[in-house]
Amino acid sequence: MHDFKPVYIERYKKLLGEEWDIFKEAIVTPFPSSFRINTLKGKRHEILKRLEDKGWKIKQVPFYSEGFCFTEKRDFVLGNTLEHFLGLVYIQETASMIPPAVLAPKPGELVLDLTAAPGSKTTQMAAMMENQGGIVANEKEIGRLASLRMNLQRCGVLNTVVTQMDGRAFKIIDMKFDKVLLDAPCTGTGTIMKSPHTIKTWSVKASQVMSGIQKQLIQSAVNVLKPGGTLVYSTCSLEPEEDEENIDYAIKKMGLKMEKIKLDGFKTRSGITSWENKEYDSEASKSIRVYPQDNNTEGFFVAKLVKE
């Protein structure tokens, strides 16, 4: 059983009200494993035919046509299959497919993935862009570059350059992108099921510190965004300090405008507009909270913003 800290329980009761009981079960319950089919290595219908022939019992993720999850327990390790070796499939949590689906990069565009390793979302975006245009996949930690490069390689990505920089350095770089993904480093409280230690190390202070870094990364993202360009900000944390508070900052201090997010067939909640005596911009409600009890996924937060 997971030991939730009193401060955690208290804040989630505030956040969720009566739903806390459902949430506390859902956040530690294993969810169906999911993956993407990688259209850079094969045609969608051919890959699907192949998986069907092998008897994989799967169903499509409602909001993303290349995302799938298993409908029955399987007796094999997805990472050990020929399809995985060939890069025809990529193991990825359903909720983690949302940010690229919302950013919707197109062939020919220039895209920055500011915090990219291990590259789940970079490879997804490269596929959406059909290996055209260009992606800068940036990662600060040298130790995480190998997995990023390995995933780009296995997926057959041709339109990406990997850079190793502190994302905050983009604040003073003179270059412009059509779209920026900031899948920010966070305390990860949406992923307790997969990484139980998260709940042991998490504290309000940790979220506050993270929030400061995230704001600096938002400044970088805004600097390199073209006028009219789109920023998707996401975290796998459900703490308001790391989520709506930063969206409030992006609106009020960075002058970004919010856009509504629509995910067909997938239940989401509106972003909150006040937390612990702080009022956030009412537009922050256009961001989405993904709760584990709603779709049987990880917890996630996603916001879509436009630079005027």
Length of the chain: 308
Does residue 7 belong to the site contacting another protein (CB under 8 A)?
Answer: no
The residue written with tokens 């219908």 in the block is: 45
Q: Are 211 and 218 in contact (CB under 8 A)?
A: no
The least CB distance from residue 89 to another protein, in Å, is: 12
- Is 155 catalytic? The answer is no
Residue 167 touches which of ligand SAM, another protein, none (Cβ within 5-8 Å per kind): ligand SAM
**Min dist. Cβ of residue 81 to another protein (A):** 5
Decide: is 114 part of the binding site for another protein (CB under 8 A). no
Q: Interface with ligand SAM by CB under 6 A: which residues? A: 96, 115-121, 138-141, 144, 166-168, 183, 185
Q: Kind of pairing, strands 278-279 and 89-91?
A: unpaired
Residue 156 touching another protein (CB under 8 A):
yes
Task: Identify residues 24-63 at the interface with another protein (CB under 8 A).
Answer: 41, 54
Residue 279 binding: pick among another protein, ligand SAM, none (C-beta 5-8 Å cut-off by kind)? none
Q: What sign does the CA torsion over 256, 260, 261, 266 have?
A: positive
Residue showing tokens 């990406």: 160
Q: CA-CA distance, 36 to 54, in Å (whole number)?
A: 16
SS3 of 263, please?
coil
Q: Residue 131 interacts with another protein (CB under 8 A)? A: yes
154 binds another protein (CB under 8 A): yes
Q: Is 136 in the site for another protein (CB under 8 A)?
A: yes
End-to-end CA distance of the chain: 48
DSSP 141-195: -GGGHHHHHHHHHHTT--SEEEE---GGGGGG----EEEEEEE-----GGGTTT-
Total residues contacting another protein (rule CB under 8 A)?
Answer: 37
Neighbours of 46 (CB within 10 A): 12
Based on CB atoms, which residue is closest to ligand SAM, 56 or 89?
89
Name which position in 174, 197, 264, 308 contacts another protein (CB under 8 A). Answer: 174
By CB under 8 A, tell whether 134 contacts another protein: yes
User: Count of CB atoms within 10 A of residue 25's CB?
Assistant: 11
* Residues at the contact surface with another protein, assessed by CB under 8 A: 41, 54, 76-78, 80-82, 85-87, 108, 110, 131-134, 136, 145, 149-150, 152-154, 156-165, 173-175
Catalytic residues: 236
